[in-house]
Every structure is written in C-alpha cells, then in structure tokens.
Structure 1
Amino acid sequence: MIVDTHLHVIDQAALTYPWLSGVPALNRTFSYEEYARDARRVGIEAALHMEVDVAEAQMETETAYVAGLAGRRNSLIVGAIAACRPEGEGFAAYLERQRDNPLVKGFRRVLHVMPDELSEGQRFRANIKRLAGTRFTFDLCVLPHQLPKAMALADLAPDVQFILDHCGVPDIKGEVFEPWRSHMAEIARRPNVAAKISGVVAYADPESWTLESLRPWVEHTVECFGWDRVVWGSDWPVCTLGGGLSTWVAATRALFGSCSEAERAKLFSGNARKMWALG
C-alpha cells in the first residue's frame, strides 16, 4: 500500500489560484472525489495534501478547506503541508497558529518560480530556523541551479527536516544532467534532507517518455539519498500532464520492481509514516 505525500486538490469554486491561468491543462477543478476514486484503485491508502500556491490571503482558508476534506468519513487525507511566506513579517504568528492544528504536518514555500534571492533574505532564513524543535517539515521545490540555495537552508537549520520535491525538478525532456546530477549528490550529504520521488512524468516528454527515460533520474535520486530518506508522491493532478495517476503508479512499481520488498515498503509508505508520525 502507498502513502501519497504530494496530493493537490484544486477547487476553483472555493479558492483562487493565480498561477493556473498560465497552465491551461490544469486550469479547472480537480476534486478530491476524482482523486480518491483512482487512488483507491491503485493501492493508495493515505495522502498528505500539498499546498497549491493559492492567493496569499487564502493560505489559511486552504488549510481549513483541506481539514473539511480530511474530516469526511473514510477520507484518504491524513495531513496537510500548508503554504507559508517565510519572507513575511507575519510568519512567526502564523507558525504559532498552526502549532495547534494537528492536521498541519509541515510547510512549503514554492521557490522554483521565484527569484533566486528570495531564500537568501535575512527574515526568510530566520523564520526557517523557527521550525527547529517543532513537528513541522519544510518542502523544497527548487530548480537544479537553485539546489545550492536549498543546501544553504539545510545547513542553516540542521534540526529541521527538509524534503526535496520532485527529484530536484530535473529537465528530463531536455536530458540536462548537469548541474542536477552533481548537486543532487551534494545536497544528499545533508542528513536533514530527504527526497521525494514525484513529479518526474511532468518533466519528461509527455508523448514519448518511457521507463528507461525516467530511470536515470529516479535511480540517481535513490542512490544519492538511500532507502531511508526517500518518499513517494503522486503530484496529482500535475501528473496528468504525463499520463495520470495510474500510469505514474504503474511506472514507479516497474522502476522499483527488482528492489527488495523492504526497500519498496520504505519508499511507498514506511518512511512517510515515520517522518510525519502518521502511525
């Protein structure tokens, strides 16, 4: 069975997503019901909702919305990675409010579409350090050339658990291995960074990717981080750009088919349950 650490629900009747206007293929509602139907069919037994970069004023509204989904009978959602703005003056108060919400397991500030210097700001870095000693993780979504910025954050806050999204967002379609390959080996030297096997079908050629075109990127990620520091994510509905949920689950099972049962169990569920204390 699988714990999906990267589910996005998009509900355009409830929330505003400014970035969707630039991605026509995703610019519609992708409901929890649509996800849950397919997720149960492929063996997903639990999911963490990942923030969807809603309008800043709606960050806490999104968390409340996800809480409503999680509260449904037999819901797959067992936690939320909430949006945040570490560069903002209100982060400390925001963090305190989330401490009392058991649904919130961690935070993410999307960085791969932001200026490189955002994460280098004094306030941003001071606020990331505030996560030390809490239960909260921090997801890093950065481009390959930004991986040194992610390393700097990990070094700055060694007691914070970071998760590198989407195998470091490599350019699979363009087959650009450097500096991604070298940077992945370097960031993996930080024991407080784990990697998420997710998103890769969206970065490959949507019409022609195969298992063999995904394999070098996925295998290098696992080789760098090891089986105790990798988790799996669907990145639904972004994965629909490269074939959809069932296709990505099937591809993952095939990519790791020759691995031991214990290794697959860590990737698919064990590490996630331990990292976010999911039971």
Structure 2
Amino acid sequence: MIVDTHLHLIYRAQLSYPWLAGVPPLDADFTYDTYLQEARRLGISASLHMEVDVAEEDIEAETAMIERLAATEGSQLAGAIAACRPESVDFPAYLERVRGNRFVRGFRRVLHVMPDDLSEGALFRENIRRLSGTGLVFDICVLPHQLDKAAALADLAPDVSFVLDHCGVPDIKGGGFAVWKGPMAEIARRPNVTVKLSGLPAYGAESWTLEDLKPYFAHVAESFGFDRMVWGSDWPVCTLGGGLSTWVGATHALLSGVSPDEKARVLSGNARTLWKI
C-alpha cells in the first residue's frame, strides 16, 4: 500500500489561491472525493495534504478545512503539512498555535517562486531554528540553482527533518540534468534531508516517457538511497503530465529493480516513520 505525502486539494469557494490565475489547467476545483476514488484503486491507503500556497490570510483556514475533511466517513487523510511564513515576526506565535494541533505534521514555505535570498534572511533562519525539538518536518521546494540555499537551511537545524520536494525540481523537459546533478548530490550529504519522489511528470515534455525519467530517478536513488526517500503524487499538478494513475504506474516501473523491502520503504514505510502516521 502507498502513503501519498503530497496531495493538494483546491476548493475555490472556500479559499483564495492567487497563483491559480497563471496556471489555467489547474484553475478549477480539485476535491478530495475526486482524488480518493482513483487513489483507492491504485492502492493509496493514506495521504498527507500539502499546503497549496493559499493567500496568507487563509493559511490557518486551509488547515481547518483539511481537518474537517479528515473527519468525514471513509477519509484517508492522515494529516496536514501546513503553510508558514518564517520570514514573518508573527511566526513564533503561529508555531505555538500549530504545535497544539496533532493533525499538523509539518510545514512548507514555497521557495521556488520566491526571490532567491528569502531563505537567507536573519529572521527566516532564526525561525527555522525554532523547529528544533518540535517534531515538525519542514518541506523545501526549490529550483536546482537554489539547492545550495536549501542545504544551508538543513545545516541550521541538524535535528530537524527536512524533505526536498519533487526531487529538487529538475528541468527534465529542457535537459537540465547537468546543472541539477551536482547540487543534488551535495544536499544529499545532509543526513537530516529526505528526498520526495514526486513532481517528475510535470517537469517532463508533454510526450515524456519512462526513459526520460530514469536518469533522474537513478541519481536520486544513488544520492539518497531508499531509506531517505518518500513518495508523493503532487495531485492535481501531476495531471499536467498524465495524471495520478500514470504517475503511480511510472513509479512502480522505476522501482521495479529494487528489493521488495526497499520498495515498501519508499512507498509507505519511510513516510509513516518520518511523519509518525
């Protein structure tokens, strides 16, 4: 069975998503019922909701909405990875509120669409250090040229678990293997960083094939191993590259050469340990 560590849900009548206007294929409602029907058929038994970069004033409302969905009959939502703003003076108070909610398993601050120096600010870094001792995991989403900044964050708090989303966002369509390879190997040297096998279909050309993904997967596996790798659907963003079923099928194909134990760790075991599911 599979634990999906990267599910996005979009309910436009309840929350504001400013970025959707720039991505017309995703500017629609993507509900849990729609996802769950397909997910169950694919063997997905639990999911973590990943924040969807809602308007800042809706951050806590998003978490509350997901928690309500988790309470409905038949739900497989196991927790939420909530949005946050470490660059804000309000972060410490927010952190204290969230720590009291066991449904929240971690945080993410989207960085790949933000100025490169955002994570280098003194306040941002001070607030990242505040995660020490909380048990909360911090997801990092950066572009290849920002991977050194992600590594610096991991170095700030060596007792905090960090998860590198989408295999470091390689430019598969543009043939960006060379500029991505070295920084990925370097960030993998941090034992507190886990890589998330997610996002690859959306970064390939419209006609991507398994052969296009194999070199990227091989390098991720070589760099991180299978004890520091988790799986995520990135639904509905994965619909830009074929959809949920296509990505699950490709994942099984990529993992076909590993042992059953390693495959089980990637698809579920590591996630259950990391996020205490």
Q: Fold conserved (TM > 0.5)?
A: yes
| Residues 61-82 of structure 1: CA deviation (Å, up to 9, x unaligned) | 0000000111111211001000
Q: State whether structure 2 residue 143 is matched by structure 1 residue 143.
A: yes
Q: TM-score, normalised by structure 2?
A: 0.99
Q: What residue is the counterpart of 2:133 in the other structure?
A: 133
Q: What residue is the counterpart of 2:268 in the other structure?
A: 269
Q: What residue is the counterpart of 2:81 in the other structure?
A: 81
Correspondence list, 1:142-221, <5 A: 142-206=142-206, 208-221=207-220
* Paired AA for residue 189 in structure 2: R
Q: What residue is the counterpart of 1:260 in the other structure?
A: 259
Q: What residue is the counterpart of 1:241 in the other structure?
A: 240
**For the residues of structure 2 that align with 1:105 and 1:135, how far apart are their CA atoms?**
8
Secondary structure at 1:6 match in 2: strand
Q: What residue is the counterpart of 1:71 in the other structure?
A: 71
Which stretches of structure 1, 4 residues or longer, exceed 4 Å deviation after superposition? none
Shift of 1:178: 2.5
Q: State whether structure 2 residue 50 is matched by structure 1 residue 50.
A: yes
| Residues 142-195 of structure 1: CA deviation (Å, up to 9, x unaligned) | 000000000110111111100000000000001111221000000000000000
Shift of 1:52: 0.1
Q: TM-score, normalised by structure 1?
A: 0.99
Q: What residue is the counterpart of 2:4 in the other structure?
A: 4
Q: State whether structure 2 residue 90 is matched by structure 1 residue 90.
A: yes
Q: State whether structure 2 residue 111 is matched by structure 1 residue 111.
A: yes
**For the residues of structure 2 that align with 1:178 and 1:155, how far apart are their CA atoms?**
24
| Residues 110-130 of structure 1: CA deviation (Å, up to 9, x unaligned) | 000000000000000000000
**For the residues of structure 2 that align with 1:23 and 1:189, how far apart are their CA atoms?**
35
* Paired AA for residue 172 in structure 2: I
Q: Which moved more, 1:177-186 or 1:38-47?
A: 177-186
**For the residues of structure 1 that align with 2:74 and 2:215, how far apart are their CA atoms?**
37
**For the residues of structure 1 that align with 2:257 and 2:178, how far apart are their CA atoms?**
27
| Structure 2 unmatched ranges of 5 or more | none
| Residues 197-253 of structure 1: CA deviation (Å, up to 9, x unaligned) | 0000000012x1111101111121111001110000000000000000000000100
* Paired AA for residue 122 in structure 1: A
| Structure 1 unmatched ranges of 5 or more | none
**For the residues of structure 2 that align with 1:14 and 1:222, how far apart are their CA atoms?**
39
Q: What residue is the counterpart of 1:225 in the other structure?
A: 224
Number of matched pairs:
277
Q: Which moved more, 1:88-97 or 1:66-75?
A: 66-75
Secondary structure at 2:46 match in 1: strand
* Paired AA for residue 146 in structure 1: Q
* Paired AA for residue 204 in structure 2: A
**For the residues of structure 1 that align with 2:55 and 2:240, how far apart are their CA atoms?**
23
Superposition RMSD in Å: 0.6
Secondary structure at 1:228 match in 2: coil
**For the residues of structure 1 that align with 2:270 and 2:72, how far apart are their CA atoms?**
25
